[in-house]
Amino acid sequence: MTIKPLKLRFFHKLHGGLFKWRHRFTTMVRYRLLILAAAPLAVTLMAVILAMLYVRVSTTLQMTQQTLEHKIVLAQRFIDEFEGEVSQAPDSEFSIRLTSLVSPVIAKLASPNTIESSLNNTSLSSFSILEPHLQGEVWDPQSWSVSAALSSSNQTYAAPYLTLSLALWPKLKIDLIEILQLSLFALGLVIVLAAFIYRSARNLFRPIERIHRVVKLVQLGKDVRIGRLNLDQEHELALLAKQFDHMLDLLDQRNQELELAASQLEAKVQSRTESLRDKTELLETHIELLNQTRDKLIINEKLAALGELTAGIAHEINNPAAVILGNVELIEFALGSRSEDVKDEIQAILLQIDRIRNITRSLLQYSRQGGLQDQITWQHLTPIINESITLVKTGAKKREVQFVTQFNATEAVEINRHHLLQVLVNLMMNGIHAMDGKGVLTIISEDWRVDAINIGAIIRIQDQGAGIKPEFINKIFSPFFTTKRSGTGLGLSVSQSLLSQNGGEIKVSSQLGIGSEFSIYLPAKACQGLLVKA
């Protein structure tokens, strides 16, 4: 007897109720929480970066435009002042005025520290090759050239010019580098925040996963516990795990009690079952004995009338038999030596007279309680079988019957000789009648062995008659049942009763058209009322 642990049924329902949402919760909450927490931050940072980029580019463009406009104004002033000075000054003063005019203008366009060369030559030839430029400024094809013709006495001597760069890349390059640095910083900040959020979510769901794993193992019948969750003792999950483990301990204790009770109950049931089986077997034995007793009572009731009848005529039968016996002895004495010619017939008459007296005596004793228990002795079967064959041959000498014998019994048995002789003669005569006085009658004696132990002897009488119908097999031992017109129906019934008084039994097997076999089972030690099973 086995009892399914309560915790398996309990945790099956608990898992279906409490942890049914586990996968949905872990996918929707763990990862979506991370996404929902990081997405606004990332969007905000990107918006800030784009806004800063827009402001920085706009400011750069505005400053560049203002610088260009300022340079153009300065260049225009330079041209105007240059033309005015040249038109008013004589040639001798030209170089001096040019130096004093150009140097301040160049100083306004660039820092004095970035001027690579200065206008310190006073000749026009020096002025004509003047190419001031800013230190560190790369050459740019996109530039404006501002120039003015230098004339004196209606002759053009030179054309000073000022180159203004229009390229925005150097300035934008610096701004983009600064923006990229800021973007990398923001991205690193996002990664750090994402890692922090992921770690927080993992620390939150790891205890839940551990609880879920323990529940699954408990469902599979494993004896596991959640244990410590590396959380604060007052944490809700820590309290839940502690209560959960305590509940598992209680369930294990309850299951152990149930298993102990189940084992005790199973032992009691097994003990009661064995006791009931023994009592059932005893009851079946008693019922079978009762059935046998009932059958005997029925037979005794039926034979009671026969007993009264035979008791009345036994004296009348025995007296003529005694007279016949006496006269046969006188005839044998009177014949003298001539009695040798009829010696066998005289002996047969004497045996038949003795048989008549034994039959009447047996019927009288069978109709009473008890029987001939005082006449049970150890007997070998072979002499009794030969004597029965002699008696049957005498009565069947006008019939064509062949007797075949096989004497294999080696042990003596306790039996009433007259009872066994009467039974054998009765069964042999029934076999001869079944063959209509023609055929082979086989008589076999053998030891009755069970598990190589000799417990008695068996006598088998086989005929070649027509056989017994299956519906008559269970009726042939009933008193007054017969299929012969001249039969009384007492032969087999009396034979079975005589053997049962000593613990023996007759069994029959038959096949229609082949013949029948009557087997006499005789226990080695006679025991009244013994039930024989073969």
Q: Are 96 and 161 in contact (CB under 8 A)?
A: no
pLDDT digits (tens, 9 = 90+) for 324-378: 888 888 888 888 777 787 888 888 888 888 777 766 665 565 455 444 444 788 8
Cα–Cα dist 178/14, whole Å: 58
**What stretch(es) of the chain map to CATH 3.30.565.10?**
372-534
Q: Are 519 and 507 in contact (CB under 8 A)?
A: yes
Beta partners for residue 506, in sequence order: 520
Cα–Cα dist 293/306, whole Å: 19
Q: pTM for this one? A: 0.39
Beta partners for residue 85, in sequence order: none
Least confident of 60-69, 94-103, 296-305, 382-391: 94-103
pLDDT digits (tens, 9 = 90+) for 242-272: 888 888 888 888 888 998 999 999 999 999 9
Q: Return the higher-pLDDT residue of 491 and 382.
A: 382
In the predicted structure, residue 320 carries a pLDDT above the cut 70: yes
* The CA-based dihedral angle spanning residues 286, 289, 295, 299, taken in that order and rounded to the nearest 10 degrees: -130
Mean pLDDT of 87-115: 41
Is the domain spanning 372-534 CATH 3.30.565.10? The answer is: yes
Place of tokens 């023994």: 278
Cα–Cα dist 180/49, whole Å: 9
Burial 152-185 (b: 16+ CB within 10 A, else e): eeeeebbebebbebeebeebbeebeeebeebbee
pLDDT digits (tens, 9 = 90+) for 416-443: 888 888 889 888 988 888 888 788 999 9
